[in-house]
């Protein structure tokens, strides 16, 4: 199992469009990918699970991947948090 921490950089926090992008990326991998924020844990392949985290601007979340392609999955999902908000600009 691999883990990393990332910061939510979107002004509106982890909302629908960034969550949908994370789900699309996470579904490309065989590994189980979870995102944690405080006591909440979300399956990264579920938009609803990600939205329920309510991670706001500057929140630090943990990404966890477990499986055959865990490092690639972890890197890809973490990269999503570096991309600009699809609703801005």
Report, as residue numbers or ranges, the catalytic residues: 15
3-state SS record for 13-48: CCCHHHHHHHHHHHCCCCCEEEEEECCEEEECCCHH
- Rounded Cα gap, residues 84 and 4, in angstroms: 20
Task: Identify the CA nearest to 66 among candidates 83, 49, 43.
Answer: 43
User: What tokens appear for 61 in the block?
Assistant: 């979340």
């Amino acid at each position: 199992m691999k883990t990393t921490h990332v910061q939510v950089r979107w002004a509106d926090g982890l909302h629908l469009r960034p969550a949908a992008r994370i789900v699309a990326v996470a579904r490309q991998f065989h590994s189980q990918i979870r995102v944690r924020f405080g006591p909440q844990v979300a399956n990264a392949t579920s938009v609803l699970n990600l939205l329920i985290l309510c991670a706001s601007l500057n929140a630090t979340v943990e990404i966890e991947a477990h499986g055959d392609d865990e490092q690639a999955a972890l890197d890809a999902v973490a990269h999503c948090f570096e991309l600009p908000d699809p609703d801005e600009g």
